Structure 1
Amino acid sequence: MERTVIRPFEHTDLPGAAAALTDVHATDGYPVEGVARPAEWLRSDDVLASWVAEAEGEIVGHVAVMRPNGEAAVSLWAEQSGVDERHIGVLARLFVVRRARNQAVGERLVRTAMAYGLRHNRRLVLDVMVKDTAAIRLYDRLGWLRAGLAAHRYGAGQQIEAICYVAPGAHPAMPSATQ
């Protein structure tokens, strides 16, 4: 695969990002929500910033930083740290199509989101379903700290166990996570 570029999401990326999302769901069963309406899921009003990975003119990955909206990881971190939710962002909507994997595309997308969080004084949190072992390895390798377990709720009353993570590297005013 040709060189992959990470860049800010543009409105014209929506069809390609939606196609990549659908592709990842078909191969991995991820995400568990949003696939029926990918455009709405990718461009939710809660998106603070998002980026795509592009290779050979095609969208092969995506990540977003979201405003908190009742996520268990947000509540857990706010309770543990005392940080106001206005200083928390949710890393979400991370996906990379199979043919672009093992090229550090996911890592580059996550690092881009982490840099945004630091620049905007938002400590990033996320939850990852325990079934998504590759994502768990990525967050562990990048130094994300496990903050606890929660139920990831989706669909019509469905849930699955998830690990809540907090991004490494805090501003002085932001407490560190406990392990």
Structure 2
Amino acid sequence: MPDLLIAQRHSAHLDRVVEALRQVHESDGYPMVWPEDPVAWLTPERSIGAWVALADGAVVGHVMLVAADGVEQVDQLAETAGVSVAGLAAVSRLFVTPKARGSRIASTLLERVEDAPTRRGRRLVLDVVDDGGPAVRLYDRLGWRRVATGPAAWTAPDGTHPPTASYLCPR
């Protein structure tokens, strides 16, 4: 893997981020349903900040922080963290392109958001489909604390509510 640069995401990155997301979607089915407007999906109003991982100018990874009010089991996360929901920020839209995996890019992106000034003292949380896949193994390996599990509030394309796990950052 060429030298990796983690940079704050700007609008000039969005076309390349959408292409990276398309690769992830085609390979892994994330997101489960391709968004009608991928740029809007990557720039929600709840966004606090976003970063890209660049290798030779190519976007190979992405992460963002959003307001935590949409996270599964957010009340349990806030209670465990000892803060209000407003005292949380959620990791969202974390992905790494298939060809760039195995290079600690996801871990590096998570470290970046953990140190982000936009975090403003909030505790970091996230939720993930609890399928035992690579994302779950990553959070477990990095010491994120699983606080709650339960069915998603949203439905998958097959009409089910997938199992989710909600995590609290160890720092």
Normalised by the length of structure 1, the TM-score is 0.86
Q: Measure, in 1, the Cα distance between the counterparts of 2:13 and 2:32.
A: 22
Alignment check: 8 A CA contact 1:33 1:154 kept: no
Closer/same/farther in 2, CA of residues 131 and 117 from structure 1, 3 Å limit: farther
Give the AA of the match of 2:55: A
- For 1:102 and 1:71, the matched residues in 2 are separated by 27
Indicate the SS of the match to 1:153. coil
The yes-or-no answer on 1:165 pairing with 2:162 is no
- Specify the code of the residue in structure 1 equivalent to 2:136: I
1:133 maps to 2:133: yes
Whether the 8 Å contact between 2:129 and 2:164 is mirrored in structure 1 is yes
Structure 2 partner of 1:145: 145
The residue correspondences of 1:1-179 to structure 2 (distance < 5 A) are 1-33=1-33, 35-116=35-116, 120-131=120-131, 133-154=133-154, 158-169=160-171
RMSD over equivalenced CA pairs, Å: 1.9
* CA displacement 1:156-176 (0-9 Å, x = unmatched): 76420011110011xxxxxxx
Q: CA deviation digits over 1:106-140, x for unaligned, max 9?
A: 11001111112795111111111122511111111
Counterpart-to-counterpart distance in 2, 1:124 and 1:118? 11
Structure 1 range deviating more: 67-76 or 135-144: 67-76
Question: Does structure 1 conserve the Cα–Cα contact (< 8 Å) formed by 2:155 and 2:162?
Answer: no
Runs of 4+ in 1 over 3 A off after TM superposition: 79-82, 153-158
- Amino acid across the alignment from 2:83: V
Query: Aligned partners of 2:169 and 2:48: how far apart in 1?
Result: 17
Q: Which runs of 5+ in 2 are unaligned?
A: none
Change (3 A) 1:111 1:34: farther
Contact 1:91-1:125 at 8 Å conserved across structures: yes
Give 1:84 deviation, angstroms.
1.0
In the TM superposition, residue 99 of structure 1 has moved relative to its aligned partner by 0.5
Distance, in Å, in 1 between the alignment partners of 2:99 and 2:53 is 12
Unpaired stretches in structure 1, ≥5 consecutive residues: 170-179
Percent identical pairs in the alignment equals 34
The AA in structure 2 aligned to 1:164 is S
Distance in 2, Cα, partners of 1:23 & 1:87: 34
Q: Say how many residue pairs are matched.
A: 169
